[in-house]
């Protein structure tokens, strides 16, 4: 989840003294409450906060989405409707700009929809009635399951989809835990409390094997 601790840790990952960090609230439809909350969380942190909204018009915004994103030290994506977010990104070519940001070493982060988007696929509540599979940007060639233990249906469905070969092996995270990847490989798992963890989940001989990652507590 995007918390003050999460933002502070993301800022530290940039290695900059006063990094420029852009928040993308696309998944909540650029919700103003979420935007205000972002600035509130950042108010006493050593960083320069920005928000990139997508509900804009040409007269109000003279920079392209790519120009904004590539000028940042880190980009944090908020939670919400993953499917709608990805559709808008594709229409606006924000997905292509994010790929360039990734290739340039800009730190990419997020929670919920904002973590699922970086992986090849996972389950989402973005459609009516039930959890379904959504394809992500594929920067990380694994499947992903956010809200692993906080929502009852997430874990068993994730296991079933891996066993049924609908999803590849991948990584699952509790709400207050996350994983740092460097060049597509796991560097470390971090959590903001001692009860939250991340896991590698894979199929072996027709069964699910779940490995809890060693976790560093961040504050």
- The CA distance from 130 to 124, in Å, is 9
Looking at residue 128, what is its pLDDT?
83
Cα 101 to chain centroid, rounded: 14
Catalytic residues: 112, 147
List pLDDT tens digits, range 5-60. Answer: 999 999 999 999 999 999 999 999 999 999 999 999 999 999 999 999 999 888 77
Under the banding of pLDDT at 50, 70 and 90, the label for residue 131 is confident
pLDDT, greater one: 60 or 122 = 122
Residue 1: is its pLDDT beyond 80? no
- How much of the chain, in percent, has pLDDT values that exceed 90? 89
- Among 95, 92, 93, smallest CA distance to 118 is for 95
Check residue 33 and give left, alpha or beta (phi > 0: left; psi -120 to 50: alpha): alpha
List pLDDT tens digits, range 42-54. Answer: 999 999 999 999 9
For the chain, the helix, strand and coil percentages under 3-state DSSP, each to the nearest 5: 30, 30, 40
Q: What is the pTM of this model?
A: 0.95
Collapsed DSSP state (helix, strand, coil) of residue 210 = strand
Looking at residue 134, what is its pLDDT?
94
- Is-contact 80 113, C-beta < 8 A? yes
Residue 113: is its pLDDT beyond 80? yes
- The CA distance from 215 to 207, in Å, is 25
Under the banding of pLDDT at 50, 70 and 90, the label for residue 124 is confident
- Is-contact 90 103, C-beta < 8 A? no
- Among 173, 54, 39, 167, smallest CA distance to 109 is for 173
């Amino acid at each position: 989840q995007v918390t003050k601790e999460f933002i502070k840790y993301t800022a530290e990952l940039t290695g900059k003294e006063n990094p420029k960090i852009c928040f993308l609230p696309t998944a909540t439809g650029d919700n103003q409450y979420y935007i205000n909350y972002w600035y509130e969380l950042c108010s006493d942190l050593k960083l320069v906060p920005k928000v990139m909204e997508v509900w804009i018009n040409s007269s109000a915004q003279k920079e392209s989405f790519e120009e904004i994103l590539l000028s940042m030290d880190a980009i944090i994506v908020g939670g919400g409707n993953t499917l709608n977010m990805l559709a808008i990104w594709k229409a606006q070519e924000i997905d292509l700009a994010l790929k360039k940001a990734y290739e340039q070493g800009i730190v990419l982060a997020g929670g919920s929809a904002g973590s699922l988007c970086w992986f090849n696929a996972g389950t989402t509540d973005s459609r009516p009635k039930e959890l379904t599979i959504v394809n992500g940007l594929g920067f990380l060639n694994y499947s992903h399951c956010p809200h692993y233990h906080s929502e009852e249906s997430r874990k068993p469905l994730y296991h079933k989809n891996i066993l049924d070969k609908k999803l590849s092996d991948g990584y699952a995270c509790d709400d207050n835990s996350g994983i740092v990847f460097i060049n597509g490989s796991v560097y470390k798992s971090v959590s903001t409390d001692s009860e939250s963890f991340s896991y590698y989940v894979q199929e072996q001989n027709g069964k699910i094997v779940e490995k809890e990652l060693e976790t560093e507590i961040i504050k």
